[in-house]
């Protein structure tokens, strides 16, 4: 064929949207990491970002099977709906699931017990690093996005972690033209973030376009909640009603999925992809600012956790 | 986030470049703020941080300086990525560091950008770091250079000051032989003059604001070569199927089912009998698509191979390269050094056969040298241990770019733009 571009091709090129560009970028990254690493794993929390990531990974290798397992770091403080969803997804696509348990890390004495009601979000890093070491994974795909937090905004697509699992922001490998450098020595590993350049709105537009299944808690439902530190927390599990707190029923949904003890719901009547999309487009507060107590402690909260090996 | 973007929304990638303190982070803060791309909690966090690190006035730069060391030192160390959208375009913006010691991070941000915004402080004019960044942007081949002459309020919006900067930057670009279009705008990032809306302080300037330009500049890629696919991975179905899909990202031109192809480096020919794009069967794919190709013949194809539509513009199966390099590390590069070259078609050991020259940023002349030091831009010749399938950078960025890796530390130590392969 000739190099002169025909009208038909120009029309197809022009029809490729920002979602198409993001999708192609993510699939290219996923394939590159799989070809450059010995033993990758995909971190799947059951949240919307990891659902998109897993969806992209399945598309990257279709019709072949996913050439790596998925792993959930189980805080023990899970929304039951998320566990149901995880198991259904894994069954539907015939995936290999590994569950790394924070409770087991506590039982082994690897991490201090934050108590039955304490947040286990930060402790996840220890469990994650142990699981990476024992399973001999050399790369872990994560659904981190740069628009989530200002420390994440600085992270490369392929994030090098030293033998202790730590992240050193000053020593990041340059990635000109998105050429990734996956070379490591034994004991080091990589985190790969194929959806680095997606915003929360992109995520929802893509979920709606592809009709990606999600846990039901992302959509409006009635739930018994208390208000604590300005957040609506679901009563039950690690969340126990304290003096002066009043439980009440509210119509809510979740914008992120995390440890039940520190993940807040938002009042919402959005029941469909389109409803949620409209809500996200109109939002004036970021998802982490609105609903994640763990990121609000200090302005370097995320950077500090990442240095310790967090996602 | 002024509007829900639509399916026809195009994504534009931008990098801000220029010297330290010329106001890159402030300009971005202003773009995000005025286009409503900032959320309330982020604004609150910035006012809190402004009280802590600044003189108390609201500091827009703190929106992108995300690392603690950056806020404490008041500088940008690494690229920060920010996202904002207007009704027609969504933008990925890379805020790159101005300090010379972090040039590697500037290259990372600018290499994937459609548009570079060069910030120049009107009081200081073009300084060495401006020359370095403009040179790198021109070498990298961005489609447009937006020249934002900032802090115009501090020179009383003097038109002749503006004109001097424009002339100086145009001289850099033409000296380097680049034809990148330059779009100069006088601005004041701190108060937003000519950033989102046209201001009233520059009656002598009738052009668009920065945001108006970003929304309208044409960034459509121009196809100049036949389609090629550097194979990343071979897809195989389990069970009885003999499906074999060669997966990768398409570059150059379009490919169709039925096209004749050549497989490099072996040189076998075959025919495309099946195509998938993002896992779905299609009969045509265009550059940028993540695809998999099925061929009519049972060939030994995998990572390292490049499948090219049969035509006049074949890539070169090269064991020698001539390349321009941006050197990223304190360790000098000298003739005889061993490095690893990582390219779309593979990762190979290489030896530096020659160092031809380096770019003198004062004179913009190529100066003979026997070594390259940190942040140098120079030309080298490499002897490769096994072949790579390469294009010239000017006709195909993906096939013409590579990184240099230190074989001992595994660090990424240079960015290579291939001028020819042999």
Q: Is A86 a member of any domain?
A: yes
Same domain, A150 and A238: no
Alpha-carbon distance B166 to nearest alpha carbon in chain A (angstroms)? 28
Please indicate, yes or no, whether residues B88 and B209 belong to a single structural domain of this protein. yes
CA distance A151 to chain B (A): 5
Does residue A265 sit in the same domain as residue A289? yes
Q: Which residue has the higher pLDDT, A148 or B166?
A: B166
The answer to the question of residue A5 being in a domain is no
Label residue A1 exposed, middle or buried (CB < 10 Å: 0-12, 13-18, 19+).
middle
Weakest-pLDDT range from B29-33, B48-52, B107-111? B48-52
pLDDT score, position B46 = 60
Band the pLDDT of B327: cuts 50, 70, 90: very high
| Residue B209 sits in the same domain as residue B74 | yes
Minimum CA–CA partner of A184 in chain B: B410
Instruction: Provide the shortest C-alpha distance from residue A104 to chain B (in Å).
Output: 33
Between B20 and B338, the more confident residue is: B338
CATH number, position A143: 3.40.50.620
In a domain, B222, yes or no: no
- The answer to whether residues A195 and A225 belong to one domain is no
pLDDT recorded at residue A203: 94
Least trusted range by pLDDT, from A106-110, B14-18, B46-50: B46-50
Look at B67 and A24 and tell me if their CB atoms are within 8 Å. Answer: no
Which among A62, A181, A281 has CB closest to B405? A181
Do both B336 and B206 map to the same domain? no
Mutant choice from A60, A152, A168, A174 vs B, greatest count of B C-beta within 10 A: A174
Mark which residues 50-69 of B lie under 8 Å from A by CB: 63-69
Nearest to B293, CA basis, from B361, A220, A183, B301:
B301
Q: What is the pLDDT of residue B1?
A: 31
The reply to whether B136 and B73 lie within a common domain is yes
| Residue B71 to residue B98: CA distance in whole angstroms | 15
Q: Which of B279, B309, B339 is the last residue of a domain?
A: B309
- For residue A180, give its domain range: 15-202+301-307
At residue A248, the 3 state secondary structure works out as: strand
For B255-264, what is each residue's pLDDT tens digit? 999 999 999 9
Cis amide prior to B265 (ω within 30 degrees): yes
Contacts of B166 (CB under 8 A, 6+ apart): B147, B149, B182, B184
Residues A196 and A245 in one domain: no
Residue A143: inside a domain: yes
Residues of B (301-360) whose Cβ lies below 8 Å from A? 303, 309, 311-313, 326, 328, 340, 342-344
pLDDT over threshold 70, residue B55: no
Is residue B83 within 8 angstroms of chain A, CB to CB? yes
Q: Output the average pLDDT for chain B.
A: 87
Q: What is the ipTM of this complex?
A: 0.87
- Give the bridge partners for B89, in sequence order: B10
Mutate to test the interface with A, among B67, B293, B294, B305 (most CBs of A within 10 A): B67
User: Looking at the complex, does the CB of residue B5 fall below 8 Å from at least one CB of chain A?
Assistant: yes
Residues A177 and A77 grouped into a single domain? yes
- Cβ-Cβ contacts under 8 Å, B221 against chain A: 13
Pick the more confident residue, B65 or B345: B345
Q: In this structure, what is the dihedral angle of CA atoms A97, A100, A104, A105, given to the nearest 10 degrees?
A: 170
Cβ–Cβ below 8 Å for B68 and A303: yes
What's the CATH number where B378 sits?
Answer: 2.40.30.10
**Interval B84-111: pLDDT, tens:** 888 778 888 888 877 766 788 888 889 9
B397 in the same domain as B271? no
CA atoms of B118 and B363, how far apart (whole Å): 20
B196 and B118 belong to one structural domain: yes
Q: Do B27 and B161 fall within a single domain?
A: yes
Of A285 and B150, the structure prediction assigns the larger pLDDT to B150
One domain, residues A90 and A128: yes
Q: Any idea how long chain A is?
A: 311
Co-location of A75 and A179 in the same domain: yes
At A293 the pLDDT is 54
Q: Angle, to 10 degrees, between the axis of helix B159-175 and the axis of helix B128-140?
A: 50
Mark whether B341 and B412 lie in a shared domain.
yes
**Residues from chain B contacting residue A153 (CB–CB below 8 Å):** 64, 66, 80-82
* Number of structural domains chain B divides into: 3
Q: Based on the fold, state whether residues B273 and B328 are members of the same structural domain.
A: no
According to DSSP, the residues that pair with B292 across neighbouring strands are: B247, B276
CA separation for the pair A216, B250 (Å, rounded): 37
> Which pLDDT does position B380 carry in this prediction?
98
Is B238's CB within 8 Å of A65's CB? yes
Task: Give the pLDDT confidence score for residue A4 in this predicted structure.
Answer: 44
Higher pLDDT, B396 or A123: B396
Domain end marker among B188, B216, B244? B216
Q: What are phi and psi of B346, to 5 degrees?
A: 140, 180
Contact criterion met (CB below 8 Å) for A132 and A110: no
Do the Cβ atoms of B355 and B380 come closer than 8 Å?
A: yes
DSSP assignment string, A152-197: GGG--SEEEE-TT----GGGPPP-GGG-------TT-EEEE-TTTT
Number of Cα atoms under 13 Å in the Cβ half of residue B74: 9
Rg of chain A on CA atoms, in Å: 20
End-to-end CA distance of chain A: give it in Å, rounded: 46
CB proximity under 8 Å: A 12-71 to B: 12-24, 27-28, 31-32, 34-35, 58-65
The per-residue pLDDT for range B270-325, each reduced to its tens digit, is: 999 999 999 999 999 999 999 999 999 988 899 999 999 998 889 999 999 999 99
Q: Domain count of chain A?
A: 2
Residue at A109 is within a domain: yes
Q: Would you say residue A1 lies in a domain? A: no
Distances (CA, A) of B356 to A202, B364, B379, B413: 46, 15, 5, 19
- pLDDT tens sequence for chain A (311 residues): 334 456 688 888 888 888 999 999 999 999 999 999 999 999 999 999 999 999 999 999 999 999 999 999 888 888 889 999 999 999 999 999 999 887 777 777 777 776 666 666 667 788 889 899 999 999 999 999 988 877 777 888 999 988 888 888 778 899 999 999 999 998 899 999 999 999 888 999 999 999 999 999 999 999 999 888 878 888 887 888 888 888 899 999 998 887 788 888 989 999 999 889 888 877 755 565 555 555 544 455 666 666 666 66
Residues 381-400 of B with CB under 8 A from A: 397-398
Within-domain flag for B3: no
- Three-state SS string over chain B comes to CCCCCCCCCEEEEEEEEECCCCCHHHHHHHHHHHCCCCCHHHHHHHHHHHHHHCCCCCCHHHHCCCCHHHHHHCCCCCCEEEEEECCCEEEEEEECCCCHHHHHHHHHHHHCCCEEEEEEECCCCCCHHHHHHHHHHHHHCCCEEEEEEECHHHHCCCHHHHHHHHHHHHHHHHHCCCCCCEEEEECECCCCECCCCCCCCCCCCCCCCHHHHHHHCCCCCCCCCCCEEECCEEEECCCCCCCEEEEEEEECCCEECCCEEEEECCCEEEEEEEEEECCEEECEECCCCEEEEEECCCCCCCCCCEEEECCCCCCEEEEEEEEEEEECCCCCEECCCEEEEEECCEEEEEEEEEEEEEEECCCCEEEECCEECCCCEEEEEEEEEEEEEECCCCCCCCCCEEEEECCCCCCEEEEEEEEEEC
C-alpha dihedral, A217 to A222 to A223 to A227, nearest 10° = 100
Say what the pTM is: 0.88
Which of B72-76, B147-151, B362-366 comes out lowest in average pLDDT?
A: B72-76
Residue A6 resides in a domain: no
Minimal CA–CA distance to B135: which of B383, B301, B296, B366? B366
Report CB contact under 8 Å: A60, B415: no
Strand partners, A252: A221, A267
The pLDDT of residue A305 is: 64
Write out residues 131-190 of B within 8 Å (CB-CB) of A. none
- CA dihedral of residues B154, B159, B165, B166 (deg, nearest 10): 140
State which H helix or E strand residue A86 sits in: helix A80-92
Nearest CB neighbour to B80, from listed A58, A154, A285: A154
**Domain range for B341:** 316-421
Q: Kindly identify which residue of chain B lies nearest to residue A64, measuring between CA atoms.
A: B237
* Smallest CA–CA distance from A202 into chain B, residue: B5
Residue A94 near chain B (CB below 8 Å) = no
Q: Are A271 and A172 in the same domain?
A: no
Residues A164 and A281 in one domain: no
Tell me, yes or no, whether B180 and B241 share the same domain.
no
- Where is pLDDT greater, at B251 or B103? B251
Same domain? For B297 and B331 the reply is no
Q: Establish if A207 belongs to a structural domain.
A: no
Q: Decide which of A35 and B241 is more confident.
A: A35
Contact A176 B107 (CB under 8 A): yes
Please report whether residue A10 resides in a domain: no
For residues A4 and A6, what is the distance between their CA atoms, to the nearest angstrom?
A: 6
Asked if B306 contacts B232 with a C-beta cutoff of 8 angstroms, the reply is no
Does residue B77 have a pLDDT over 80?
A: no
Same domain for A173 and A254:
no
Count CB-CB contacts under 10 A for residue B404.
28
CB contacts under 8 A, A 157-186 vs B, are 169-170, 172-179, 181, 183-185
**Is residue A84 domain-shared with residue A177, that is, in the same domain?**
yes
Q: Are residues A22 and A125 in the same domain?
A: yes
Separation CA A169–CA A155 (nearest Å)? 7
Q: Which of A25, A62, A19 is nearest to A207 (CA)?
A: A19
Q: Which chain B residues touch A17 with a CB distance below 8 Å? A: 7-11
The residue among A236 and B146 whose pLDDT is bigger is B146
pLDDT-derived band at B8, boundaries 50, 70, 90:
very low
d(CA A59, CA A57): 5
Q: For residues B90 and B196, state if they share a domain.
A: yes
CB contacts, 8 Å: B340 with chain A: 183
How far is A296 from A308, CA to CA, in rounded Å? 18
pLDDT at B76 over 70: no
- A103 at interface of B, judged by CB pairs closer than 8 A: no
Q: What residues in A contact B309, CB-CB < 8 Å?
A: 1
End residue of a domain, out of B193, B216, B239: B216
Do residue B288 and residue A24 have CB atoms under 8 angstroms apart? yes
The CA dihedral of B328, B331, B334, B338, to the nearest 10 degrees, is -90
Does A281 contact B279 at a Cβ distance shorter than 8 Å? Answer: no
Closest CA–CA distance from residue B315 to any residue of chain A (Å): 14
């Amino acid at each position: 064929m000739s190099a002169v571009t025909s009208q038909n091709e120009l029309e197809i090129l022009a029809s490729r949207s920002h979602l198409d560009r993001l999708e192609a970028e993510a699939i290219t990254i996923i394939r590159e990491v799989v070809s450059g690493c010995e033993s990758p794993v995909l971190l799947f929390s059951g949240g919307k970002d990891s659902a998109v990531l897993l969806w992209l990974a399945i598309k990257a290798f279709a019709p072949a099977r996913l050439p790596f397992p998925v792993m959930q770091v189980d805080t023990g403080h899970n929304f039951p709906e998320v566990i149901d969803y995880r198991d259904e997804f894994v069954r539907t696509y015939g995936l290999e699931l590994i569950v790394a348990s924070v409770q087991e890390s506590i039982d082994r004495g690897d991490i201090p017990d934050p108590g039955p009601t304490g947040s286990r979000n930060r402790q996840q890093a220890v469990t994650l690093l142990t699981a990476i070491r024992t399973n001999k994974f050399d790369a872990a795909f994560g659904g981190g996005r740069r628009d989530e937090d200002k420390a994440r905004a600085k992270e490369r697509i392929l994030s090098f972690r030293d033998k202790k699992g730590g992240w050193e922001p000053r020593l990041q490998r340059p990635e000109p033209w998105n050429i990734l450098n996956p070379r490591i020595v034994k004991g080091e590993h990589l985190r790969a973030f194929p959806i680095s350049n997606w915003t929360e709105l992109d995520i929802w537009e893509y979920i709606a376009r592809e009709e990606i299944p999600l846990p039901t808690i992302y959509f409006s439902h009635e739930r018994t909640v208390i208000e604590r530190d300005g957040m609506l927390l679901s009563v039950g599990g690690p969340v126990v009603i304290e003096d002066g707190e009043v439980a009440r029923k509210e119509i809510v949904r979740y914008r992120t999925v995390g440890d039940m003890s520190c993940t807040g719901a938002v009042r919402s009547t959005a029941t469909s992809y389109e409803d949620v999309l409209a809500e996200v487009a109109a939002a004036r507060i970021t998802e982490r600012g609105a609903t994640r107590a763990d990121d609000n402690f200090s302005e370097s909260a995320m950077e500090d956790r990442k240095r310790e090996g967090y996602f | 986030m002024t509007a829900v973007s639509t399916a026809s929304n195009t994504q534009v990638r931008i990098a801000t470049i220029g010297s330290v303190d010329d106001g890159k982070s402030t300009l971005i803060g202003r773009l995000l703020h005025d286009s409503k791309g900032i959320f309330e909690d982020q604004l609150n966090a910035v006012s809190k941080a402004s009280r802590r690190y600044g003189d108390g006035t609201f500091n827009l730069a703190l929106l992108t300086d995300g690392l603690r060391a950056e806020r404490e030192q008041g500088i940008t160390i690494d690229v920060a990525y920010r996202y904002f959208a207007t009704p027609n375009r969504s933008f990925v913006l890379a805020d790159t560091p101005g300090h010379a010691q972090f040039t590697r991070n500037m290259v990372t941000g600018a290499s994937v950008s459609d548009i570079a915004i060069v910030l120049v402080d009107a009081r200081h004019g073009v300084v060495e770091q401006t020359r370095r960044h403009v040179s790198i942007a021109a070498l990298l081949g961005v489609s447009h250079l937006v020249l934002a002459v900032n802090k115009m309020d501090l020179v009383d919006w003097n038109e002749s000051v503006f004109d001097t900067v424009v002339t100086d930057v145009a001289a850099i670009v033409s000296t380097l032989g680049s034809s990148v279009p330059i779009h100069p705008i006088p601005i004041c990032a701190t108060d937003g003059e000519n950033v989102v809306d046209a201001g009233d302080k520059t009656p002598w300037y009738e052009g668009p604001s920065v945001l108006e330009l970003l929304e309208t500049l044409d960034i459509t890629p121009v196809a100049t070569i036949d389609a090629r696919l550097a194979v990343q991975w071979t897809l195989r179905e389990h069970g009885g199927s003999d499906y074999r899909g060669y997966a990768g990202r398409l570059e150059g031109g379009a490919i169709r089912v039925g096209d004749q192809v050549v497989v490099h480096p072996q040189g076998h020919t075959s025919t495309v009998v099946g195509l998938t794009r993002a896992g779905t069967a299609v009969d045509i794919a265009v550059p940028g698509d993540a695809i998999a190709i099925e061929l009519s013949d049972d060939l030994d194809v995998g990572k390292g191979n490049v499948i090219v539509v049969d035509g006049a513009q074949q890539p070169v199966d090269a064991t020698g390269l001539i390349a321009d390099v941006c050197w990223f590390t304190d360790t000098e590069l000298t003739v005889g050094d061993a490095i690893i070259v990582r390219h779309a078609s593979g990762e190979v050991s290489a030896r530096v056969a020659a160092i031809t020259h380096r770019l003198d940023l004062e004179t913009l002349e190529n100066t003979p040298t026997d070594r390259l030091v940190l942040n140098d831009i120079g030309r080298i010749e490499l002897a490769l241990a096994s072949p790579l399938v390469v294009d010239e950078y000017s006709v195909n960025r993906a096939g013409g770019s590579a990184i240099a890796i230190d074989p001992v530390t595994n660090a990424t130590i240079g960015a290579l733009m291939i001028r020819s392969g042999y």
